[in-house]
Chains A and B, each alone.
Chain A
Amino acid sequence: MPEKTEQTETSSDSYEPRIVAFFCNWCTYLAADLAGTSRMKYAPNARVIRVMCSGRVDPQFVLDAFAQGADGVLIGGCHPGDCHYQEGNYKALRRYKMLKRVLDDLGLEEERLRLEWISAAEADKLRDVMDEMAEQLSALGPAQLEVSEEDLEAMSAVEEVTA
Chain B
Amino acid sequence: MTEKPKVAFYWCASCGGCEEAVVDLAEAILDVVAAVDIVFWPVALDFKREHVEAMDDGSILASFVNGAIRTTEQQEMVELLRRKSQVMVAFGSCSHLGGIPGLANMWDRRSVFERVYVETPSTVNPDRVFPQPSSQDDGHELELPGFFDTVRTLDQVVDVEYAIPGCAPTPNIIADAVKTLLSGDLPPPGTVLAPDVALCSECPRIDSKPEDLSFVEFKRPHQVLADEGTCLLAQGLLCMGPATRAGCGALCIKGNMPCTGCFGPTSQVHDQGAKYLSAVASAIGVNDPEAIDKVLDTIPDPVGTFYRYSLPASSLRRRKTTALEG
- Interface residues of chain A, those whose CB is within 8 Å of chain B, are 1, 55, 58-60, 62-64, 66-67, 80, 90-91, 93-95, 97-99, 101-102, 105-108, 144-145, 147, 152, 155-156, 158-163
Of chain A, the residue at the smallest CB distance from B293 is A97
Docked pose: A97 CA to B306 CA in angstroms:
15
Q: How would residues 278 to 306 of chain B score, 1 for a CB under 8 Å from any chain A CB and 0 otherwise? A: 10111010010100110010010011001
Sorted nearest first, the 9 A-B pairs with minimum C-beta distance are: A107-B323, A107-B320, A63-B315, A98-B281, A59-B274, A67-B315, A163-B128, A91-B282, A94-B281
Q: Which of A1, A98, A105, A159 contacts B270 (CB 8 A)?
A: A1
The A interface is mostly helix, strand or loop, or mixed, namely: helix
Question: Is there contact, CB below 8 Å, between A59 and B275?
Answer: yes
Question: Is there contact, CB below 8 Å, between B292 and A93?
Answer: yes
- Interface residues of chain B, those whose CB is within 8 Å of chain A, are 72, 75, 106, 109-110, 113, 128, 130-133, 146-150, 152, 156, 269-271, 273-275, 277-278, 280-282, 284, 287, 289, 292-293, 296, 299, 302-303, 306, 314-324
B312 to chain A, nearest CB (A): 10
B69 to chain A, nearest CB (A): 10
Q: Which of B106, B113, B148, B322 contacts A105 (CB 8 A)?
A: B106
Question: Is there contact, CB below 8 Å, between A161 and B278?
Answer: no
List, in ascending order, chain A residues with CB within 8 A of B323's CB: 106-108
Q: Which of A55, A63, A160 contacts B274 (CB 8 A)?
A: A63
B123 to chain A, nearest CB (A): 14
Task: Given A60-B269, A102-B277, decide whether A95 and B302 contact each other with a Cβ distance below 8 A.
Answer: no
List, in ascending order, chain B residues with CB within 8 A of A94's CB: 281-282, 284, 292
Docked pose: A80 CA to B72 CA in angstroms:
52
Question: Is there contact, CB below 8 Å, between A163 and B130?
Answer: yes
Question: Is there contact, CB below 8 Å, between A99 and B274?
Answer: yes
Docked pose: A147 CA to B172 CA in angstroms:
36
Question: Is there contact, CB below 8 Å, between A80 and B287?
Answer: yes
List, in ascending order, chain B residues with CB within 8 A of A59's CB: 271, 274-275, 277-278
